[in-house]
Amino acid sequence: MTGKRPRVDFSLVETKGEAPTNVPKEQSASWAEEALREHYEDAELAQYEIGADHLTKEEQVLKRIDRARARKARLKEELITLAHGAGGKSTHTLIEALFLREFRNPLLEPLGDGAVFSVNGSRLAFTTDSFVVSPLFFPGGDIGDLAVNGTVNDLAMSGARPLYLSAGFILEEGFPIVDLRRIVDSMQAAAQAAGVMIATGDTKVVGRGKGDGCYINTSGVGVIERPISLAASLAQPGDAVIVSGPIGEHGVTVMLARGELDIECDVSSDTAPLHELAAGLLDAAPGVRCLRDATRGGVATILNEVAVASGVAVVVDEERVPVRGDVNGACELLGIDPLYVACEGRMVVIVDGAEADTAVAALRAHPLGAGSCVIGRVKDDPPGLVLLKTTFGGTRIVDMLVGDPLPRIC
């Protein structure tokens, strides 16, 4: 380059510059117009609503929003996007507007971790889960023990003793047998540790490029030996909210193991079978209302499901939420909230407030629950919301995410 160095003047505030002369032709966004049409139809209906006069203007708006949120879920997209698999609002819409609508039955309807039914006087729990994790191997585990523990945990969260698992493999042409052997070995080890038998299975191979190496589906059957009923809809004001240990380790481990972030951090997945921990808890505290393993979508998503299903407010104290320092640091760097990050060996417990201390003591008696603590409680108002008292001393809402938490640019 020759001559004067170019310079950009960022403090240029002269706005008399060239006016846009050749403004390109305009279009409108059809999806936005559609959303507006719906809104106006709603607004028309709302005019006939009475009894809202005593509310402030802001409260009226918030009421209007509540009504919009309560609207039946509708699947607007024409194609599946990654957000449909992320466990947040898009996943819920897909399930409610398509799967639940078509398959609707009393066993499926509660959308719990598994279906509970009786056969010849025995109460059984039945569940299924698919595993598509990338990378297949990560610090603290691999897709094999994840696939066993995930289904064992879904049964345990239904209050069941896990008995039998199925294993379905979808393998990609060219996948190294040595890797598959490693995965199968760790599945067998995990099954033995959890006291379950992999009793049936299936294998399919797809062409190169049609799969991501190895996908696994596991289903499981367990027996419920206590006269209990657990559901997200059973939370009551006064209940305590407990997590069984520090959160977010699995999600952060896998994110970092993908190697795209160039962050090094000494974390490993928390994948573990929770059936013994759950059994010990249920023996000690009969006032347990709901157990959920905080997988996809993290603790925040579970708490939102509880708040909505039970029509209660869940108030969480950020200072009490256990997060390891390095997990917290990685989340801070990425602009992600650990409350939304997946765990594979932690559960959220909703329990009668009077039994909170007993429940925490029972959980801490097991090595997998050593980090258990009360993180919040259930209140009656505002229903359907999760509120967070921040460490800084403020308050805010913890909503369900639309899709995956995405890193922010600045």
Partner 1 sequence: MTYASKIDREQITHYKGSLMRFVDEFRDAEMAQVLSAQIMSLCEPGRQYKFMEVCGGHTHTIYKHGLEDYLPNTVTLVHGPGCPVCVIPMGRVDDAIFIATRPDVIMTTFGDMMRVPGGRGSFFDAKAQGADIRMVYSPLDSLRIAKDNPDKRVVFMAIGFETTAPSSAMTVLRAKALGLDNFSIFCNHVTIIPAIKAILDSPDLRLDGFIGPGHVSTVIGCRPYEFISRQYAKPLVTAGFEPLDILQSIAMILVQLDQGRCEVENQYTRVVPWNGNPRALEVISEVMELRPYFEWRGLGFISHSALRVRDAYADFDAEQIFEMPGVRVADPKACQCGEVLKGVLKPWECKVFGTACTPETPIGTCMVSSEGACAAYYNFGRFTRERVKEATRT
Considering only residues 144 to 183 of the shown chain, the ones binding partner 1 according to CB under 8 A are: none
**Among positions 123, 275, 346, 377, the unique one binding partner 1 when judged by CB under 8 A:** 377
Q: Minimum Å distance from CB 28 to partner 1?
A: 6
Q: Minimum Å distance from CB 360 to partner 1?
A: 8
Tokens found for residue 169: 């493999």
Q: Minimum Å distance from CB 70 to partner 1?
A: 11
| Cα gap 248→337, rounded to integer Å | 9
Q: Tell me the window of 63-71, 116-124, 185-193, 220-228 that interacts with partner 1 (CB under 8 A).
A: 63-71
- Single-letter residue type at 146: L
Q: Minimum Å distance from CB 261 to partner 1?
A: 6
**Which 4-43 positions form the footprint of partner 1 (CB under 8 A)?**
5-20, 23-33, 35-36, 38-39, 42-43
The rounded Cα 62 to chain-centroid distance in angstroms is 26
C-beta of 72 vs 104, nearer to partner 1: 72
For residue 382, state whether it binds partner 1 (rule: CB under 8 A). yes
Q: How many residues bind partner 1 (CB under 8 A)?
A: 105
Phi, psi of 235 (to 5 degrees): -65, 145
Q: Which residues contact 246 (CB under 8 A, 6 or more apart)?
A: 270, 322, 323, 324, 327, 346, 371
**Which 296-335 positions form the footprint of partner 1 (CB under 8 A)?**
313, 315, 317, 319-320, 322-326, 328-329, 332
* Cα angle for residues 266, 271, 274 (degrees, 5° grid): 140
Q: What is the DSSP string of 64-131?
A: HHHHHHHSPP----SS--GGGGSSSHHHHHHIIIIIIHHH--TTTTT--SSEEEEETTEEEEEEEEEE
**Among positions 59, 109, 185, 283, the unique one binding partner 1 when judged by CB under 8 A:** 59
C-beta of 224 vs 315, nearer to partner 1: 315
- Single-letter residue type at 192: Q
**Which 261-280 positions form the footprint of partner 1 (CB under 8 A)?**
261-262
C-beta of 66 vs 225, nearer to partner 1: 66
